[in-house]
Structure 1
Amino acid sequence: MDKALRGARAYKRGHLAEYIALVHLMLKGYRILGFRLKMPQGEIDILAQKGTRLAMVEVKQRRSHEEAFETVSSIQQERLWQVGLALQEKTPRLRRLDLTIDLYSVAPDRWPQHRINAFEKIDRF
């Protein structure tokens, strides 16, 4: 199979994983505030709110949930924090919410997994 075809299939699987995550989060009581939000600092797959928590949900489709977790590098985590903080700065009604980065992973033959606050905020000086 050529590289372009593999890439197209991965792209479709990724989009399917995002839609699965959207539906599952709504069923869990989350209010979806944004989907594939693009900002200068990066992109948020899903922005959702539940209570006082503002969740930036990173969605990964991988062979296992562990592999999905490991693919989010510390650089990507930092970028996600920067996107979230910039979004809160730009949107006054979001400032009062507790910002977290969640990981939603989809793996073959497994139930999807939603890790709340999967990546701790890195202390900044």
Structure 2
Amino acid sequence: MRSLSISSVKLDKDYTNIIIESVSDKEETSVETMRKAMRKTTLDIIKDIEKIVDSQSSEITAKLDEQANNLIKDISSSIESDAEELKKQLENKKEYEELYKQAVLGIEEIKNNI
């Protein structure tokens, strides 16, 4: 097995005092204060997300309403068009029935005259 050789690193300065001074200069913040700040930030993020979701859901609802209205208009237009076509066909059928009756009467009259 190889052995690991550990060599120490010599620093130019003694940083221990610098670290201690920088920490002691700062005001100590309690864990509870940090938790409150994190909760507030989290609540702000959640509120922003709620606003975005509300905005998007309003847009989606508006788009769906518009699509539903367009679909209703298209269906109504199609039904009206089909109804007009059926009405014309019915009128034509009545005309054909009348012509057929006249033709049958005409044929019977011809038979009677012969």
Q: TM-score, normalised by structure 1?
A: 0.20
Q: TM-score, normalised by structure 2?
A: 0.22
Computing the radius of gyration from Cα coordinates, the structure with the larger value is 2
Higher relative contact order (CA 8 A, sep 6+): 1
